[in-house]
Amino acid sequence: MSDTPLLKIEHLTKSYRDSSSGIEVLRDLELSVEANEFLCILGPSGCGKSTLLRCIAGFEEYEGSVKVNGREEREPGTDRFMVFQDFNQLFPWKTVLKNVTYPLSINRKGDKDEIRRLALEALEKVGLGNFANQYPHQLSGGMKQRVAIAKALALGSPIILMDEPFAALDAMTRSGLQKEVLRISESEKSTIIFITHNIQEAVILGTRILVLGQHGQILFDRKNEMERPVTPASPGYGELWEQLHQALYEGRLSSEL
Amino acid sequence: MKKKESHLRSILIRVVYVLCLMAIWEYVARSGMLGPRSALIFPSLEQIAAAFVKNFVRGYAGTSLWIYIINSMKLLLTGLAIGIILAFIFSGISMVSYTFRKIFDFTVSICDLLPGIALLPVVIIIFGVRREVIVFLVVHAVLWPMSRNMLDGFSSTPRIYVEAGRNMGLRGMRLILGVYIPAAASYIVSGLKSGWARAWRGLISAEMIFGIASSPGIGLFINQMRTNMNNAEMYATLLVIIIIGVIVQYGILRPIEICTVRKWGMSK
Ligand SMILES: Nc1ncnc2c1ncn2[C@@H]1O[C@H](COP(=O)(O)OP(=O)(O)OP(=O)(O)O)[C@@H](O)[C@H]1O
Ligand SMILES: [Mg+2]
């Protein structure tokens, strides 16, 4: 492992200008993420998880620094690709295939045929090869989220940011997509930062799990070395679940003070 | 299946309605119930049909109605093209510059309220009696509603599209072309519709008020029919004006809508 981590966040402080109290949503946050990590972030509602991800993605202004491979990044870029929670993140005026090829052609990731091949391959990986020529409004919510993931895959973004991408889906679809993301994270060389409210989801997916408290304070940060695939029957599952639950509970208590 | 049935039915209703209107017209025309002016106000359908053909074959002053239509359309299309392009350019710049947006927004609000025909005297002073006057009025008719719709469309672009666009590396002008404009498609389509409607009306009125000999249009034609008391020809020209309106509405605007916002599931 090299000395510079893939993603290094230093002294990250963020407050929203228009918020009434002007309090710091994130205060002096420090975090390093290594390549190929699957980092799951848990935390009580309003603790600043989405804010952290949006700072990393470059959508927000902040103090401190976010470095990718040692280089400071302040603007959005394809090296940090965001999969939003909102199903409407696809462009309705483009077909599924065009939605995937578009970022590739903007960023000149090859000639036309090459881009098409990459996009179709990514769509195959998320099981939507047959829907390439449909328009987003013809897809279900879960399928749209898969297309969004395919976009990130085709681009080959080193860091994929996911903000509760499955939160609004039913349990069945959700567990199917978890399996897909897991498979992808194991076969592709990408680093995923995944926000969730669901402890089980974090334990199943994460190779490292973080619990944030008030002001983005890190309450829990541990590698998850359980053998994959993790199921509730895996040894150590109950223990980890209990610890996370405890940390979350503390986080909630502290944010209610 | 059901949809097709109701579609057929709505066509049937319209056909029957039009046939009834024609029957009433013909009855009034033949009965002479309006006294001596009856024949003037209600020429029989046969006369109108004959006039319709005559308009195209003989025309007026030795020039077929076709030529008048083509003259009008040239001015109309020039004006529409200029107006639409300007609307795109100004609304685009508005997204980049805050100051420009405030100024342009204000300008649109004022000019949108100003009937083009009221500007006619001023424009004639500036341009003289030339075809540019009509082009100017058409530009005026289309530019403001189009810009108003585009500005509204841009400002109501969902934040998620903008962020998704920035996320894939779009900035500035490319963000406007790649995200703001397509996201505002339904607004642009309604801008086109109201812009066209105003431009078409404005064109005919302007041509009626001052027909230019160098470029005689449909408005001039219908006005000449009135002064010469060729009433059947006048009605026939009205029909032509309606037919052109229908062709643009259903032959151009509707297909544009179907190929864009309908297909993308973005109808407002
Ligand atoms: N655009 C904004 N303007 C002002 N305040 C904001 C804005 N976005 C978020 N906040 C505030 O920042 C705090 C953190 O919000 P954030 O969305 O990051 O929380 P979260 O951890 O993602 O919560 P959840 O789990 O409910 O999604 C909240 O108190 C919220 O009110
Ligand atoms: Mg959130």
Tens digit of each residue's pLDDT (9 = 90 or more) over A151-162: 998 998 999 999
Is there a single domain that holds both residue A130 and residue A221?
no
Is there a single domain that holds both residue A239 and residue A163?
yes
pLDDT at A13: 94
pLDDT at B5: 84
Contact between B117 and B200 under an 8 Å Cβ cutoff? The reply is no
Q: At what angle do helices B116-127 and B185-209 cross, to 10 degrees?
A: 60
Asked, for residue A89, whether it belongs to a domain, the answer is no
Q: Which amino acid is at B233?
A: E
- What count of CB pairs under 8 Å joins A to B? 64
Q: Among A157, A184, A210, where does a domain finish?
A: A157
Q: Which residues surround ligand 1 with Cβ inside 6 Å?
A: A 16, 18-19, 25, 43, 45-51
| Rounded mean pLDDT, A59-65 | 94
Hey, what long-range contacts does B122-126 have (CB within 8 A, 24 or more apart)?
A: B124/B210
Is there a single domain that holds both residue A142 and residue A163?
no
Position A3 pLDDT exceeds 90: no
Position A21 pLDDT exceeds 70: no
Token pair for residue A240? 């980890």
| Rounded mean pLDDT, A60-88 | 93
Name the percent of chain B lying above pLDDT 90.
69
Name the percent of chain B lying above pLDDT 70.
98
Number of domains composing chain A: 2
Position A2 pLDDT exceeds 60: no
In this complex, which of A93, A107, A151 lies closest to B266 when CB atoms are compared? A93
Domain that holds residue A121: 94-157
pLDDT at A80: 94
Asked, for residue A84, whether it belongs to a domain, the answer is no
* Beta strands at A191-195 and A159-163: parallel, antiparallel or unpaired: parallel
pLDDT at A96: 97
pLDDT at B14: 94
Token pair for residue B235? 């009605």
Is there a single domain that holds both residue A171 and residue A230?
yes
Is there a single domain that holds both residue A137 and residue A177?
no
Asked, for residue A168, whether it belongs to a domain, the answer is yes
Q: Among A157, A180, A211, where does a domain finish?
A: A157
Tell me which DSSP letter residue A235 carries.
T
Residues in chain A closer than 8 A to B175 (CB atoms): none
Is there a single domain that holds both residue A174 and residue A238?
yes
Token pair for residue A176? 């199917």
Is there a single domain that holds both residue A56 and residue A122?
no
Is there a single domain that holds both residue A62 and residue A126?
no
pLDDT at B22: 94
* Whether complex ipTM tops 0.95: no
Contact between B209 and A146 under an 8 Å Cβ cutoff? The reply is no
Atom of ligand 1 nearest to the CA of A53: 18
Lowest mean pLDDT among A54-68, A240-254, B55-69: A240-254
The answer to whether the CB atoms of A77 and B169 lie below 8 A apart is yes
Chain A residue at shortest CA distance from B160: A89
Tell me which DSSP letter residue A227 carries.
P
Q: Is A106 on the interface with B (CB under 8 A)?
A: yes
| Rounded mean pLDDT, B32-45 | 82
Contact between B163 and A84 under an 8 Å Cβ cutoff? The reply is yes
CA distance B160 to chain A (A): 6
Atom of ligand 1 nearest to the CA of A44: 25
The answer to whether the CB atoms of B182 and A91 lie below 8 A apart is yes
* Beta strands at A63-68 and A71-72: parallel, antiparallel or unpaired: antiparallel
pLDDT at B245: 92
Residues in chain A closer than 8 A to B182 (CB atoms): 91, 93
Position B252 pLDDT exceeds 90: yes
User: Which phi and psi angles does B140 have, rounded to 5°?
Assistant: -60, -40
pLDDT at A20: 63
What's the rounded Cα separation, in Å, for the pair A204 and A217? 23
pLDDT at B1: 56
Query: For the segment A178-189, what is each residue's pLDDT rounded down to a tens digit?
Result: 988 888 888 888
Is there a single domain that holds both residue A12 and residue A104?
no
Q: Ligand 1: distance of its center to the CA of A50 in Å?
A: 7
CA-to-CA separations, B268 to B186, B257, B264, in angstroms, rounded: 6, 11, 11
Token pair for residue B177? 């072309």
| Rounded mean pLDDT, B102-108 | 97
Within 13 A of A151's CA, how many CA atoms are on the CB side?
Answer: 33
- pLDDT class of A255 with cuts at 50, 70, 90: low
Domain boundaries, chain B: 1-42, 55-262
**Total-model pTM:** 0.88
CA distance A161 to chain B (A): 11
Is there a single domain that holds both residue A59 and residue A121?
no
Q: Which residue has the tokens 């590396």?
A: B169
pLDDT at A185: 87
| Rounded mean pLDDT, A243-252 | 86
Q: Which amino acid is at B25?
A: W
| Rounded mean pLDDT, B150-155 | 95
CATH of the domain at A56: 3.40.50.300
pLDDT at A254: 67
- Three-state DSSP class for residue A194: strand
- Three-state DSSP class for residue A139: coil
Position B31 pLDDT exceeds 60: yes
What's the rounded Cα separation, in Å, for the pair A197 and A43? 7
Asked, for residue A43, whether it belongs to a domain, the answer is yes
Q: Could you tell me the CATH superfamily of domain B55-262?
A: MetI-like (1.10.3720.10)
Q: Which amino acid is at B164?
A: A
Contact between A47 and A251 under an 8 Å Cβ cutoff? The reply is yes
User: Which phi and psi angles does A218 have, rounded to 5°?
Assistant: -85, 115
pLDDT at A168: 82
Q: Among A157, A173, A200, where does a domain finish?
A: A157
Question: Average pLDDT of chain B?
Answer: 91
Contact between A74 and A90 under an 8 Å Cβ cutoff? The reply is no
Secondary structure E strands in chain A? 7-14, 26-33, 38-42, 63-68, 71-72, 80-83, 159-163, 191-195, 208-212, 218-223
Position B213 pLDDT exceeds 80: no
Position A124 pLDDT exceeds 70: yes
Lowest mean pLDDT among A22-31, A192-201, B147-156, B172-181: A22-31
Contact between A45 and A247 under an 8 Å Cβ cutoff? The reply is no
| Rounded mean pLDDT, B6-25 | 94
Lowest mean pLDDT among A130-139, B83-92, B109-118: B109-118
Determine the length of chain A.
257
- pLDDT class of A18 with cuts at 50, 70, 90: confident
Query: For the segment B155-172, what is each residue's pLDDT rounded down to a tens digit?
Result: 999 999 999 999 999 998
Asked, for residue A2, whether it belongs to a domain, the answer is no
Is there a single domain that holds both residue A70 and residue A177?
yes
Is there a single domain that holds both residue A168 and residue A247?
yes
| Rounded mean pLDDT, B107-126 | 91
What's the rounded Cα separation, in Å, for the pair A104 and A118? 9
Instruction: Tell me the longest C-alpha to C-alpha distance in chain B.
Output: 76
